[in-house]
Amino acid sequence: MRVLGIDPGTIITGYGVIEYTASGLSLIDYGIIKSGGRDPFPERLKRVYEGLNWVFEKHKPDHVAVEKVFYGKSVKAAIKIGEGRGVAILCAALAGLPLSEYSPTVIKKSVVGVGSAQKRQVQEMVKVILNLPKPPEPFDSSDALAIAICHCHRRKIDDLINR
C-alpha cells in the first residue's frame, strides 16, 4: 500500500509518500509545494492543486492522509489552512482515492508516543521509523511523512482488530 501524507497550507504544503508492506515502512519521496506568500490567494490555491496533482500522477498513491486543522494562530490563518485542506481533499476525491484525516495530537502520539511532542521530536522519530540517514526537512515535509506513518499505524491496528 502506498500512502501519501499531506500537511496542508497555502504558502507551503508538505507531502510525504511511503510504502507500507508486510516487511515494514519505506520512504518513496517527500518535499514541499511552495507558492509565494505575496501571490494572489487564488494563485496560491492553484499552485497547491497543480503541485498535488503532480505528486498524485508521479507516485500513484493508494491512500491519502491529511492533517485536520483544529486551531490556528488566528481565525484568518485557520481559515486559509482550511482552504488548503480543501484543495488536498478535492485532489484525493478527483483521483478516486480514500482519504483519512488525523488530528495533530493523534499524529504525534502515533509517531512519537506523546500528543504534545515538538516538531523536532516528530522529525527525529520520522527519521528513525523510516531508517533515514538524516531527519527530513523542512518541517512541512517531515510532518507530512508523520501523517502517512500515522495512517499506516492506524491501518495496521485496524487490520489486527478485523482478523
Give CA separation, 153 vs 11, 46, 136, 156, in Å. 29, 32, 19, 5
Among 77, 97, 63, 67, CA closest to 11: 77
| Number of structural domains the chain divides into | 1
Q: Are 116 and 139 in contact (CB under 8 A)?
A: no
Q: What is the pLDDT along the chain (163 residues), one digit of tens a residue?
A: 999 999 999 999 999 999 999 889 999 999 999 988 889 999 999 999 999 999 999 999 999 999 987 666 678 877 888 899 999 999 999 999 999 999 999 999 999 999 999 999 999 999 999 999 999 999 999 999 999 999 999 887 666 556 6
Q: Annotated active-site positions, please?
A: 7, 67, 140
**In this structure, what C-alpha cell is assigned to residue 75?**
481565525
Q: Is the pTM of this model over 0.85?
A: yes
Whichever domain contains 40, its CATH number is 3.30.420.10
Q: Which domain holds residue 94?
A: 2-161
